[in-house]
Amino acid sequence: MEDGMKVQKIPEEHINKIKEALQSVNPEKIPHLIMNLLDVFVRFKMDVAVTGDSGSGKSSLINALLGLDHDDEEAAPTGVVETTKEPAMYLYPNNPHVRLWDLPGMGTPTFISKRYVETMNFDLYDMFIVVTSERFRENNMLLIDEIQKRKKPLYVVRTKVDNDLLLQSKKHRFSEINALREMRDECLKYLCEKNLNVPVFLVSSHNTQSYDMQNLKDTLEKVAPELKRDIFPIFIANLSTAPGRKATAIKCHALKSGKMKEKDLHKLQKISKHLIDGTEEVKAALEALGHFQLDVAILGETGSGATTLVNALTGQKNGTRGSAHAKIAATSPQYPDIRFWHVSGTERDMDNLLKEKQILDNFDFYIIIVSDWQKTAHIELARTVRELKKHYHFVQTKVDLHLQVKEDLCCSETEILDGLRAQCAKELHITEATQSQLFLINSLDTNSFDFFSLESVLRSDLDTIRTSAFAYYVARIVRQKQESHTCQIL
């Protein structure tokens, strides 16, 4: 087990980055800081501005992305005359944390090109889709330069591809593939000249089944979590380091548009006081969290069924290759980023474990197997886990055997199971573990007894503790780094 636990919870490169980024932060403050940061991050809404020349097809593109027809009541107004006079917000389907903003077009008497970026205040948006049609124009490059200055992500979308193809199809030796390639190359040429690696999509908002529309939708959905991780640190840095007027505008917009609640803005402001510039620290923390492995220990005496339970949870068959082994964690796609360790041994081994609390402290959550209600081993383990300020559940395995043995006692199955639960409730009361529960299971038949509810409770519990486990782990590794640094100086 000790060998196994030397396996990093986060890949080395991310550990180094986060240690570096947080080295000047007081480790005592780190858990609270990270938990608050992640709490706000979960609710953070990403604002994607759809911008470009007037008439380029921005509003039509938004309708296509939302799956709306141009004459639907909720659709963005479109047309051959200037229709979009104010930025309008639309929630992205299936992801309420992504908001699309339909901006008025660039280059009309109302929104002249020279003052467009300033008037629209690009600082308010987290990401941009620059819409172009027919030709790549100077205005498009002007927008891209401004977005680049703000270090924000951007996509280029060339719309009205159906029109372009129709016109070109009248030419001699027309080939759709070649025509599309030429259109893409035209966009890429200008982007390459500026050394920009920007995704380009060729779409038709009138024919959404063709060209890159589905790819654009899929990409937006697939990379939204990743984009959010890139964007959030920039948002925090702008809040804390931008000149007063700019930061005030960002805050007002966030509150007015419902991007963020006042209490979350306060939290972020408090957090940024502990950070140097915000960007690096927050980025390192979010990246590390994305790779963080949660370690769950299944504790039980030899023969209590710890291995079989790990195999049942991870969907492995007993005795197959890759099934649970003390020194290798069992993983399963069902529980992404979770490692199950079976920690079993003789009564004496379990006693020793209680004395070596630091070994037990390597885990983030515990399932304690009750082999025998007459013994106290499970109560001692539960107490120690509580002392480590961590959580556990009790599991009684082999319940089927238990029922067989008790058959001659003339009790009904329900009475026996209720008896076990009552016994457990008494013991949970002794250890004051109100969040803990008992699950009665037969690991060889996952459709029976409480296995299903064990799985669902486990899933939601592990989701909840992930953030705090990560926060305390980061505090621990930063403290180690600072201590080793102090030793070197001495």
Ligand X SMILES: Nc1nc2c(ncn2[C@@H]2O[C@H](COP(=O)(O)OP(=O)(O)O)[C@@H](O)[C@H]2O)c(=O)[nH]1
**Residues in touch with ligand X (CB under 6 A):** 54-60, 78-80, 83-84, 105, 159-160, 162-163, 204-206
Distances (CA, A) of 205 to 230, 256, 407: 28, 30, 70
Beta-sheet strand order (sheet of 127-133): 88-91, 98-102, 46-52, 127-133, 154-159, 200-202
Conformation bin of residue 410: beta by default, left when phi > 0, alpha when psi is -120 to 50? left
Residue 129 or 477 with smaller CB distance to ligand X: 129
Q: Hey, is 277 helix, strand or coil?
A: coil
Tell me the closest approach of the beta carbon of residue 223 to Mg ion, in angstroms.
Answer: 25
Residue 163 or 219 with smaller CB distance to ligand X: 163
162 touches, from Mg ion, ligand X, none (C-beta below 5 to 8 Å by class):
ligand X
| Stretch binding Mg ion (CB under 5 A), from 50-58, 222-230, 259-267, 350-358 | 50-58
HSE-CB for 117 with a 13 A CA cutoff:
17
**Is 84 a binder of Mg ion (CB under 5 A)?**
yes
**Is 56 a binder of Mg ion (CB under 5 A)?**
no
Nearest to 156, CA basis, from 124, 196, 118? 196
Greatest CA span in the chain, whole angstroms?
A: 93
Nearest to 339, CA basis, from 13, 2, 4, 35? 4
CA pair distance 210, 129, nearest whole angstrom = 19
Tell me the closest approach of the beta carbon of residue 84 to ligand X, in angstroms.
Answer: 5
Residue 87 or 278 with smaller CB distance to ligand X: 87
**Is 59 a binder of Mg ion (CB under 5 A)?**
yes
290 touches, from ligand X, Mg ion, none (C-beta below 5 to 8 Å by class):
none
Residue 84 or 308 with smaller CB distance to ligand X: 84
283 touches, from ligand X, Mg ion, none (C-beta below 5 to 8 Å by class):
none
Tell me the closest approach of the beta carbon of residue 112 to ligand X, in angstroms.
Answer: 15
**Is 344 a binder of Mg ion (CB under 5 A)?**
no
**Is 51 a binder of Mg ion (CB under 5 A)?**
no
Q: CA 442, 352, 347 angle in degrees (round to 5)?
A: 40
54 touches, from ligand X, Mg ion, none (C-beta below 5 to 8 Å by class):
ligand X
Tell me the closest approach of the beta carbon of residue 252 to Mg ion, in angstroms.
Answer: 24
409 touches, from Mg ion, ligand X, none (C-beta below 5 to 8 Å by class):
none
CA pair distance 190, 293, nearest whole angstrom = 43
396 touches, from Mg ion, ligand X, none (C-beta below 5 to 8 Å by class):
none
Q: How many residues does the chain have?
A: 490
The answer to whether 324 and 307 have CB atoms below 8 angstroms apart is yes
The answer to whether 152 and 145 have CB atoms below 8 angstroms apart is no
Please give the DSSP secondary-structure letter assigned to residue 82. -
163 touches, from Mg ion, ligand X, none (C-beta below 5 to 8 Å by class):
ligand X
Residue 128 or 392 with smaller CB distance to ligand X: 128
56 touches, from Mg ion, ligand X, none (C-beta below 5 to 8 Å by class):
ligand X
308 touches, from ligand X, Mg ion, none (C-beta below 5 to 8 Å by class):
none
Residue 84 or 316 with smaller CB distance to ligand X: 84
| Stretch binding Mg ion (CB under 5 A), from 41-49, 83-91, 216-224, 303-311 | 83-91
Residue 104 or 233 with smaller CB distance to ligand X: 104
| Stretch binding Mg ion (CB under 5 A), from 12-20, 58-66, 247-255, 376-384 | 58-66
Residue 133 or 371 with smaller CB distance to ligand X: 133
Residue 201 or 363 with smaller CB distance to ligand X: 201
Distances (CA, A) of 266 to 240, 253, 275, 467, 475: 11, 15, 15, 20, 23
Nearest to 312, CA basis, from 399, 407, 423? 399
Sequence-distant (≥ 6) Cβ neighbours of residue 84 within 8 angstroms: 58, 59, 76, 77, 102, 103, 104, 105
> What ranges in 406-447 are assigned the alpha helix state H?
413-430
Tell me the closest approach of the beta carbon of residue 61 to Mg ion, in angstroms.
Answer: 9
Residue whose entry in the numeric block shows the structure tokens 């649970």: 324
Using CB under 5 A as the criterion, which residues of the chain lie in contact with Mg ion when the complex forms?
A: 58-59, 84
